[in-house]
A and B are shown apart, each in its own frame.
Chain A
Amino acid sequence: MTANVRKFIDIRKGQQVYVVPKGDSFVVIPLGGEIDSELQKLMGDIKFDRAARRKAEAFLLKQAK
């Protein structure tokens, strides 16, 4: 990312980004820190067990109604 581009988005020099194609352009998503610690930060509070699976299923079916 050049300085000219960085002026328009909240991104630091050298910061990693994730790029997703979108039609004839791209969406650039700035990434935070290290993968493992970010995963822990984002999802670490979830206990994934059968109750969580049932809750997810209920959520999905409610959305589908």
Chain B
Amino acid sequence: MSYLAETEFIFSLRPRDRWNKLTRKILQKVDQHKIHVHLLESAVQELRAVLYSQGKSSRETYASLIFIKTKLMQHGIQEELISIDDYILADRLREDHAELTYFDALHAAAALRRNKTLVTNDVVYERCEAKAITFGELAS
């Protein structure tokens, strides 16, 4: 079974993150080839916007990205690129769902277009009918 990870998954790689224990279990399942997880390019875009908006420097941002990429590579997690069709569907979703942020809509559109399930604990995706699975559900 293949899943798409959004930004929450990246932050959960931090050892003291509230979801880190579950993420470690998910990574174990990835290592055992029980599941496949791809990281959405939109998650990397959102991560950068979060870091910059919280006052992080360019150096801190690229250093973070290097460690994230290295961590993901250790587990064979690949990136899922965003296409023009994803942007089209994202903007269409935002017409109907004002509660979605720019990045929420992109993550949701990517999942809907690929008919894949998002790994997320955020309930916002239910509202636009994107399939989602919580960290706890996926880890169990």
Interface residues of A (CB under 8 A from B): 18, 29, 31-32, 35-40, 42-46, 48, 50, 52-61
Contact = CB atoms under 8 A, between A and B. Distances in A.
A37 B16 CA distance: 10
Q: Which of B64, B101, B124 has the most CB of A within 10 A?
A: B101
Interface stretch (B52-60, B82-90, B128-136): B52-60
Interface of B: 7-8, 11, 13-17, 46, 49-54, 56, 60, 62-64, 66-71, 74, 101-104, 122, 124
A18 B71 CA distance: 12
Q: Is the interface of A mostly helix, strand, loop or mixed?
A: helix
Nearest to B64: A42
Contact of B16 (A40, A42, A48, A53): A40
Contacts of B16: 40, 44
A53 B8 CA distance: 10
A56 B56 CA distance: 12
**Which 7 A-B residue pairings sit nearest by Cβ, starting from the closest?**
A59-B53, A56-B49, A48-B11, A56-B50, A57-B101, A42-B64, A18-B66
A43 B66 CA distance: 13
Nearest to B54: A46
A38 B101 CA distance: 29
B11 to A, nearest CB: 4
